[in-house]
């Protein structure tokens, strides 16, 4: 079984390891004896060629399944079991996993060829460094095979099944990376004007605007743990009483009064338990409430009550503020001094007093020194109890509403200037603050990538539609190598897998996929070497002390063209990150 895992890991490694290789001239077509399975545009793909695309599509789908279901604690083998024929496992109504993977492989090949032919027609050429990479393709395969204790033929066989050849792998890789390089070049040349930003904002206000509001739910029927059961009339009366107040302080105080559980009450003592800042249109999950919150006629202090019959509750909502999206992020450093907690997680008055004393002493030492950002950073490294202490307590490109209220208000004070400093108390402790300066503009940072991705998606769709597709009967012979790899590995180990061993295979799936993802990161480094990496934004949320809260677009509703465009727009990790990933991969 150990041999099986070694070769399966090698299979996943090979498909991503050569993502940095490409060529400016068309690869040789159908150079071996493998029959043609499909003709796309002017290019023919043999069964061997499409098997390479099939493996790539399998890795993409399997990885997505793994992370989707792992978040729910579900073993991916319950969805797709690689120890059994994929033709016999259904991905949907009347569609097997094999059919699903094959469709993705054909779509990917069509897109790649469309982009490749457009790049050739426009005279696109690779850099000298990229040319050197492709020239050393064979040597790199030999090196990877040797690292796994195999010959090249063995390595290809265990990765791609019977009849796999280095020529097919090289051909597919050249086309893929040539297309990727062209798309990256197009992406870098896209210019987004102020007029583009304004037009996009007007058309997508609901997706960009955010609001601050307060909320409280009064449940009736069966009570939650620690709470008292209310009748529907009592719950409605609570909600209506909350709707009568018109300041945040009053709303928070009355909500605390309605909360009977002592642990829940602590949330009100430690911060704004009823406030949701920087909320997007879908934050509530209730269309009626969202429409009300984002109505441009809304003013601070207005309230509404929503009756949710399904969950037997009344939701009271108070509008506080609509956030103007055209503002600048801030860069700030801080030194967090936390009060000690007892065994029950409580913070005594003495603990708070001790934390205040320590914070004051550190702050006084800063004021007595050079009072520079460098000096503050050194003190943060030495004293801060936040997760970013090693980075000098830096938070870059902080968005409005993403910090706890007191921290946020200090950062976004309109009078704030570079070099400002002070102490702020929050539910987490005492923060010694240093204002570094303004960062990127929120509206531009939000819209420019979106416009760029739209244009890239349109380009990719155009390229895909520009090529004709003609399949042959040999397409029926594409795929199936996943089963071949598993069976061949077990034969090489001198045994057929037992039921217990098959369970072991499933248990190691997580490890294998984890390594795959790490390698894909390295792959991106090789593909996009000239893209400058922007500093990652670290943000402290209201609920977790050192959590980094980064807003990211989800892939769930994106088309294939949009996903490819998003990949072309991804930023290049730093060399230090690459080395770290490489070390993790070796482990």
Map tokens 């992020």 to a residue.
329
Q: Which pLDDT value is given to residue 449? A: 95
Q: Which pLDDT value is given to residue 498? A: 53
Instruction: Count CA within 13 A, CB hemisphere, residue 153.
Output: 2
CATH tag, 328-443? 3.10.50.40
Which of the two residues, 542 and 486, has the higher pLDDT score?
Answer: 486
Contact 506, 569 (CB under 8 A): no
pLDDT over 50 at 11, yes or no: no
Dihedral angle sign, alpha carbons of residues 142, 148, 151, 152? negative
Local structure of residue 193 (DSSP, 8 states): -
Contact 429, 385 (CB under 8 A): yes
Q: Which pLDDT value is given to residue 209? A: 93
Angle between helices 575-586 and 509-527 (to 10 degrees): 150
367 is written with which tokens? 């004021």
Model pLDDT for residues 118-142, shown as the tens digit of each residue: 999 999 998 888 888 888 888 888 8
Q: Which residues pair with 435 in a beta bridge?
A: 332
Element (H, E) at 294: none
Instruction: Count CA within 13 A, CB hemisphere, residue 202.
Output: 6
Which of the two residues, 198 and 578, has the higher pLDDT score?
Answer: 198
Q: Which pLDDT value is given to residue 223? A: 67
pLDDT confidence band for 177 (50 / 70 / 90) = confident
Across 314-323, 470-479, 485-494, 560-569, least confident range: 560-569
Using a pLDDT cut of 70, give the percent of the chain over it.
74
Task: Give the other-Cβ count within 10 Å of 468's Cβ.
Answer: 9
Query: Apex CA 93: angle with CA 92 and CA 98, to 5°?
Result: 50
Longest alpha-carbon distance in the chain: 81
E-strand stretches of 146-272: 210-219
Q: What share of the chain is helix, strand, coil (3-state, %, to 5)?
A: 50, 15, 35
Model pLDDT for residues 19-70, shown as the tens digit of each residue: 323 333 334 344 446 899 999 999 999 988 898 889 889 989 999 999 999 8
pLDDT confidence band for 157 (50 / 70 / 90) = confident
pTM of the model: 0.67
505-539 exposure pattern, b = at least 16 Cβ within 10 A, e = fewer: beeebeebbbbbebbbbbbbbbbbeebeeeeebbb
153 is written with which tokens? 């033929």
Map tokens 């202490």 to a residue.
389
Q: Among candidates 536, 327, 335, which has minimal Cα distance to 438?
A: 327
Q: Which pLDDT value is given to residue 514? A: 47
Q: Which pLDDT value is given to residue 492? A: 53
pLDDT over 50 at 378, yes or no: yes
Average pLDDT in the 549-559 region? Answer: 37
Map tokens 């070049």 to a residue.
185
Q: Which pLDDT value is given to residue 114? A: 96
Contact 368, 442 (CB under 8 A): no
209 is written with which tokens? 């605007």
Q: Which pLDDT value is given to residue 322? A: 92
Contact 176, 115 (CB under 8 A): no
Task: Give the other-Cβ count within 10 Å of 38's Cβ.
Answer: 24
210-323: CATH class: alpha beta
- Cα–Cα distance, 154 to 7 (Å, whole number): 10
pLDDT confidence band for 485 (50 / 70 / 90) = low
In the chain, list all ranges with CATH 3.10.50.40.
Answer: 210-323, 328-443
Which of the two residues, 82 and 487, has the higher pLDDT score?
Answer: 82
Mean pLDDT score across all residues of the chain: 80
Please list, in sequence order, all residues whose beta carbon lies within 8 angstroms of the beta carbon of residue 444, skipping any fewer than 6 positions away: 197
Using a pLDDT cut of 90, give the percent of the chain over it.
54
- Residue 401 backbone phi and psi in degrees, to 5: 80, 0
pLDDT over 90 at 359, yes or no: yes
Model pLDDT for residues 221-254, shown as the tens digit of each residue: 876 665 667 899 999 999 999 999 989 999 999 9
391 is written with which tokens? 């980075």
Q: Among candidates 216, 345, 341, which has minimal Cα distance to 273?
A: 216
Q: Which pLDDT value is given to residue 390? A: 96
Q: Which pLDDT value is given to residue 31? A: 42
- Cα–Cα distance, 442 to 29 (Å, whole number): 48
- Cα–Cα distance, 146 to 14 (Å, whole number): 12
Q: Which pLDDT value is given to residue 152? A: 85
Q: Which pLDDT value is given to residue 225? A: 64
Please list, in sequence order, all residues whose beta carbon lies within 8 angstroms of the beta carbon of residue 564, skipping any fewer than 6 positions away: 111, 183, 456, 457, 460
Distances in Å between the Cα of 238 and the Cα atoms of 229, 302, 316, 540 are: 13, 17, 9, 33
- Cα–Cα distance, 484 to 486 (Å, whole number): 6
β-pair type (429-441, 469-471)? unpaired
Contact 208, 296 (CB under 8 A): no
E-strand stretches of 342-442: 394-398, 421-426, 429-441
Q: Which pLDDT value is given to residue 30? A: 41
pLDDT confidence band for 521 (50 / 70 / 90) = very low
Coil, strand or helix at 60: helix
Q: Which pLDDT value is given to residue 158? A: 73
Model pLDDT for residues 311-323, shown as the tens digit of each residue: 999 999 999 999 8
Across 1-10, 295-304, 455-464, least confident range: 1-10
73 is written with which tokens? 């604690």
Q: Which pLDDT value is given to residue 161? A: 63
- Cα–Cα distance, 115 to 460 (Å, whole number): 7
Q: Which pLDDT value is given to residue 489? A: 52
Which of the two residues, 531 and 195, has the higher pLDDT score?
Answer: 195
Model pLDDT for residues 71-84, shown as the tens digit of each residue: 889 998 899 988 88
Coil, strand or helix at 141: helix
- Residue 494 backbone phi and psi in degrees, to 5: 85, 20
189-210 exposure pattern, b = at least 16 Cβ within 10 A, e = fewer: ebebeeebbeebbeeeeeebbb
pLDDT over 90 at 331, yes or no: yes
224: left (phi over 0), alpha (psi -120 to 50) or beta: beta
Contact 115, 183 (CB under 8 A): yes
Average pLDDT in the 545-567 region? Answer: 40
């Amino acid at each position: 079984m150990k041999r099986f895992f070694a070769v399966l890991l090698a299979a996943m490694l090979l498909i991503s390891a050569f993502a940095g290789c490409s060529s400016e001239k068309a690869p040789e077509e159908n150079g071996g004896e493998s029959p043609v399975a499909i003709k796309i545009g002017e290019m023919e793909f043999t069964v061997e060629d499409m098997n390479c695309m099939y493996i790539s599509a399998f890795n993409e789908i399997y990885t997505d399944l793994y992370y989707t279901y792992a978040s729910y604690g579900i073993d991916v083998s319950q969805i797709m079991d690689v120890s059994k024929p994929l033709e016999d496992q259904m991905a949907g109504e009347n569609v097997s996993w094999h059919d699903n993977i094959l469709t993705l492989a054909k779509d990917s090949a069509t897109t790649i060829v469309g982009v490749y032919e457009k790049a050739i027609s426009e005279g696109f050429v690779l850099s000298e460094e990229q040319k050197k990479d492709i020239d050393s393709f064979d040597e790199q395969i030999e090196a990877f095979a040797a690292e796994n204790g195999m010959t090249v033929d063995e390595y290809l066989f265990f990765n791609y099944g019977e009849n796999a050849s280095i020529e097919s792998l090289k051909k597919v890789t050249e086309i893929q990376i040539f297309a990727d390089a062209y798309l990256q070049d197009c992406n870098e040349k896209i210019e987004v004007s102020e007029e583009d930003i304004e037009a996009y904002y007007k058309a997508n206000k609901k997706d960009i605007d955010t609001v601050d509001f307060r909320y409280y739910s009064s449940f009736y029927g069966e009570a939650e743990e620690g709470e008292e059961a209310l009748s529907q009339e009592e719950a409605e009366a609570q909600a209506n009483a909350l709707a009568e107040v018109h300041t945040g302080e009053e709303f928070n105080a009355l909500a605390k009064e309605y909360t009977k559980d002592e642990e829940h009450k602590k949330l009100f003592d430690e911060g704004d338990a009823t406030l949701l800042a920087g909320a997007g249109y879908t934050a509530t999950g209730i269309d009626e409430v969202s429409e009300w919150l984002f109505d441009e006629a809304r003013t601070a202090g207005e309230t509404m009550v929503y009756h949710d019959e399904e969950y037997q509750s009344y939701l009271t909502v108070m509008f506080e503020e609509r956030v103007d999206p055209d503002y600048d992020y801030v860069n700030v450093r801080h030194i967090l001094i936390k009060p000690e907690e007892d065994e029950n997680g409580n913070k005594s008055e003495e603990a708070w007093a001790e934390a205040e004393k320590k914070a004051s002493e550190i702050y006084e030492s800063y004021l007595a020194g050079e009072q520079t950002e460098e000096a503050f950073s050194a003190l943060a490294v030495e004293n801060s109890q936040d997760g970013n202490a090693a980075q000098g307590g830096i938070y870059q490109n902080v968005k409005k509403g993403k910090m706890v209220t007191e921290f946020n208000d200090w950062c976004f004070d309109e009078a704030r200037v570079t070099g400002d400093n002070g102490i702020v108390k929050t539910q987490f402790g005492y923060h010694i603050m240093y204002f570094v300066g303004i960062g990127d503009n929120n509206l531009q940072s939000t819209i420019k990538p979106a416009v760029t991705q739209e244009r890239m998606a349109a380009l990719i769709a155009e390229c895909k539609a520009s090529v004709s597709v003609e399949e042959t009967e040999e397409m029926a012979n594409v795929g199936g190598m996943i089963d071949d790899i598993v069976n061949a590995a077990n034969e090489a180990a001198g045994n057929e897998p037992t039921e217990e061993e098959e369970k072991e295979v499933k248990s190691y799936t997580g490890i294998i996929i984890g390594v795959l993802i790490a390698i894909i990161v390295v792959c991106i480094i090789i593909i996009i070497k000239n893209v400058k990496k922007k500093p990652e934004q670290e943000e402290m949320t209201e609920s977790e002390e050192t959590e980094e809260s980064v807003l990211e677009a989800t892939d769930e509703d994106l088309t294939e063209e949009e996903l490819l465009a998003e990949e072309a727009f991804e930023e290049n990790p730093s060399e230090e990150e690459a080395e770290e990933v490489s070390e993790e991969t070796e482990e």
